[in-house]
Amino acid sequence: MRSRFRSDPRLTVRMTVTLFLLGLLYVAFVVALVLLLKSWLLVVVVAAALLGAQYWFSDRIALFAMRGRVVEREEYPELHAVVDRLCALADMSKPVVAVSAMEMPNAFATGRNPDHAVVCVTTGLLRRLEPAELEGVLAHELSHVAHKDVAVITVASFLGVIAGLIVRFAFYSGLFGGRRDQNTAAVLAAVMGVSIAVYALSFLLIRALSRYRELAADRAAALLTGRPSALASALTKVSGDIARIPTRDLRTAQAFNAFYFTPAAGREPGIERIFSTHPTLRQRVEQLARISAELGEAATPGRG
């Protein structure tokens, strides 16, 4: 069943193109490893097992990594009430609701499809936002679920994860594994070179898609709730509070930036924005201001 979140053909096209390109890259990566390691069975079995594990258990992995736990209505009645209202408004199945005991104000959605999805908010977010702002953030996350881009990012990120692990393994085994014959050293160097190239290409493709999907989720949430100014207020508030959290506390969360409502970064990106998982705060607020004008709402951050 389709939800009432406004469809985004451009997002669908971008997801399709990204997955197609990553699929080609994945095939080339596996072929290169087979030629280098001369064991197609080992490479294919290991790659397929890891992809399957990431796809089927992505929600559990994400919740565990970000200290989230599933909560029932009795524990967080107001949170469940907001999710229930938005799901009814969007005509979509209700995802599992979770809370992460993190001071960093943030939220994320994960899961392989809308029927196996999880929406999680941190306790830091719940303490900081007004009801209308929280509604905007949750609508943003639910739009990720409805548009299925959560599953796409999960699958798309797989190749980069595997390539990154191989780079680390090859680096440490090559430098600290003792003396090796020339053939083994050459194979390790080749594997590392291929993995670095694959990681770099997948890194750029995923981030380009991630930046657009965040703008698409902001737009869908604003149109569903009819209050883009509340979402703009939440963005401004959360981004400002994250900037005040010590950098050392943000580093552990940065590996999951592609899933977060706002990135765990201490400052707005400069030239490095081409490597960012999210658009800048200015881009997101300006888009919401345009939507607010179209809807006839006073685009004043903080109004809710």
Q: Which residues are annotated as a binding site for Zn(2+)?
A: 140, 144, 214
Q: Please, are residues 228 and 289 in contact by the beta-carbon 8 Å criterion?
A: yes
Cα–Cα distance measured from residue 277 to residue 263, given in angstroms and rounded to the nearest whole number: 7
Which of 74, 141, 268, 294 is an active site residue? 141
Sign of CA dihedral 82, 86, 88, 93: negative
List, as residue ranges, the binding site: 140, 144, 214
Instruction: Classify residue 260 as exposed, middle or buried by CB count within 10 Å of its CB (0-12, 13-18, 19+).
Output: buried
Instruction: Look at strands 68-70 and 96-100 and give their pairing.
Output: antiparallel
* Active site annotation includes 103: no
Helices 131-146 & 182-225 angle (0-180, nearest 10): 120
Query: Nearest-5° angle of CA 193, CA 65, CA 147?
Result: 85
Q: Which positions are annotated as active-site residues?
A: 141
